Amino acid sequence: MNLSLLRNSLRIRLLVGTLFWIVISILVAGWGLGQLFHQHVEAQFDAELKNHLDQLTAQLILDEQNQAQVRLLPSDPRLNKPLSGLYWQIDRIAAAGDHPVKAVLRSRSLWDETLAVPADTPADGEIHQHRIEGPQGVTLKIVERTVTIDTHSLRLMVAANESLMTGPIADFKGHLWLALGILGMGLTFAASMQVFVGLAPLRSMQDALGRVRQGDARNMEGIFPNEIMPLVNEFNTVLAQNAEVVERARTQAGNLAHALKTPLSVLANAANAPEKRDDDLARLVASQVDTVRKQVDYHLSRAQAAAAVKVPGMRTAVEPVIRGLVRVMQRVHADRQLEFVVLPDPANLAFRGEEQDLQEMLGNLIDNASKWARSRIEIQVSDESGKLRVRIDDDGKGIAETERDHVLKRGVRADEQVPGTGLGLAITADLARMYGGDLVLAKSSLGGLRASLTLPAV
């Protein structure tokens, strides 16, 4: 048995323990029952032999010539059947002028064999037992007693084939082990069932956890046994805390954005007022306000995503997010007659992550495409070997190959003064990387820019 297997599997642990006890119990029971039956059969066998001996003794008389006679032969038919295995024999013992004679009388079953008993003279009333070799070399069990009538001593003996006793015992033991074997198999099956049923809650816990991981469930659902429930509750608490951390990060980021940006608007408007156009201070304020805005946007979006990336069980359907963003673009660019094509139907594709992060990434890309497109934007969502791929094409003027990397790395560099462009792409690339995906810019077949966003799928 591989010890690490034993250590690693609760099921094997339980099964091995149970099987050990089943085997021990069956061995002990088999041996014990065998012994008991053996003793029982042997006692009965001995009793039968004694019974025959008693009958023989009771019917023994001496005739006028002082010859031993049996008035009524024992009735057991086996005693009349030659070499049946059950025999009796009467010897005369030398005493008071008698000379010993072997087998003065014997059962017909002995035919012309004699029972060769070892020399022994049991006292009157005593019964002695021997095992001897009998006809055809079989082992016989023999009981004998000495009977003295007047002065004549006779030795009465009854013998039986030992196989008459051991045969049934062997038979019984065969049946016994068969029965115990079946019992053992039944118990093993029952034990496996018990382990299976007993560990079922662990399996359903695993399933519940799987659903959380897949993002199908917000927390572990279901009723579990008292022994497991605390674990499940504890885990759900951790999940809830994680979700709360994300929500708190979002709220704080939102509040910070709100708190910062309204004053920034005031500053920017004051600095950009027509009468301040030529004021150096006003220009400095205006440019710094722009930098601050970018820093705030960039770092807040990162901070929010950083909290969300670590939370398991996030799942966001892609289609509603795209549809919402396209609605925004169609409304905002209503006078430009832009055509948005979403292909193919991304109905059941989902992103393994937080909704707002997906919204930010796709929002920046679709917004960028809408800004530059002449008339057509194509959004293609696909599942590529377990990864979610969103490709956004536009028919605008595109970005020169040499500029593409620069645009993605632009980040929050203070010297960037082009309003509203670039930063969105850099933020998107950053968010994608935090989720273990990437953003690649290329030339679109429509003529403009192709942004390919790869993200973990559910």
Positions in the binding site for other proteins (CB under 8 A): 254, 257-258, 260-270, 272-274, 289, 293, 297, 324-325, 327-328, 331-332, 334-335, 355-356, 359-360, 362-364, 419
Tell me the closest approach of the beta carbon of residue 320 to other proteins, in angstroms: 10
Tell me the closest approach of the beta carbon of residue 378 to other proteins, in angstroms: 20
Tell me the closest approach of the beta carbon of residue 369 to other proteins, in angstroms: 14
Q: Which is nearer to other proteins, 1 or 334 (by Cβ)? A: 334
The rounded distance, in Å, linking the Cα atoms of 251 and 158 is: 106
Q: Which is nearer to other proteins, 86 or 426 (by Cβ)? A: 426
Tell me the closest approach of the beta carbon of residue 344 to other proteins, in angstroms: 23
Tell me the closest approach of the beta carbon of residue 382 to other proteins, in angstroms: 22
Tell me the closest approach of the beta carbon of residue 307 to other proteins, in angstroms: 14
Q: Which residues pair with 89 in a beta bridge?
A: 106, 157
The position carrying tokens 């003279």 is 121
The rounded distance, in Å, linking the Cα atoms of 96 and 406 is: 138
Tell me the closest approach of the beta carbon of residue 272 to other proteins, in angstroms: 6
Cβ neighbours of residue 443 under 8 Å, at least 6 residues apart?
A: 398, 401, 449, 450
The rounded distance, in Å, linking the Cα atoms of 354 and 305 is: 8
The rounded distance, in Å, linking the Cα atoms of 286 and 30 is: 98
Q: Which is nearer to other proteins, 386 or 420 (by Cβ)? A: 420
The rounded distance, in Å, linking the Cα atoms of 88 and 56 is: 8
Closest CA relative to residue 454, chosen from 423, 431, 424: 431
Q: Which is nearer to other proteins, 212 or 318 (by Cβ)? A: 318
Q: What is the DSSP string of 115-136?
A: --PPS--PPTT--EEEEEE-GG
Q: Which is nearer to other proteins, 154 or 307 (by Cβ)? A: 307
Q: Which is nearer to other proteins, 159 or 321 (by Cβ)? A: 321
The rounded distance, in Å, linking the Cα atoms of 419 and 297 is: 13
Q: Which is nearer to other proteins, 122 or 263 (by Cβ)? A: 263
Length of the chain: 458
DSSP label of 99: P
The position carrying tokens 């509203």 is 420
Q: Which is nearer to other proteins, 191 or 264 (by Cβ)? A: 264
Tell me the closest approach of the beta carbon of residue 442 to other proteins, in angstroms: 24
> What count of other Cβ atoms lies within 10 Å of the Cβ of residue 316?
20
The rounded distance, in Å, linking the Cα atoms of 403 and 36 is: 97
Tell me the closest approach of the beta carbon of residue 355 to other proteins, in angstroms: 8
Tell me the closest approach of the beta carbon of residue 239 to other proteins, in angstroms: 22
Q: What is the DSSP string of 205-255?
A: HHHHHHHHHHTS-SS--S---TTTHHHHHHHHHHHHHHHHHHHHHHHHHHH
Q: Which is nearer to other proteins, 334 or 418 (by Cβ)? A: 334
Q: Which is nearer to other proteins, 161 or 368 (by Cβ)? A: 368
Q: Which is nearer to other proteins, 13 or 276 (by Cβ)? A: 276
DSSP label of 98: P
Task: Kindly report each contact of residues 435-442 with a partner whose C-beta sits within 8 Å and lies 24 or more positions away, as own/partner.
Answer: 435/305, 435/309, 435/352, 435/353, 435/357, 437/387, 437/388, 439/361, 439/365, 439/408, 441/399, 441/404, 441/407, 441/408, 442/404
The rounded distance, in Å, linking the Cα atoms of 103 and 60 is: 14
Tell me the closest approach of the beta carbon of residue 331 to other proteins, in angstroms: 5
The rounded distance, in Å, linking the Cα atoms of 240 and 242 is: 5
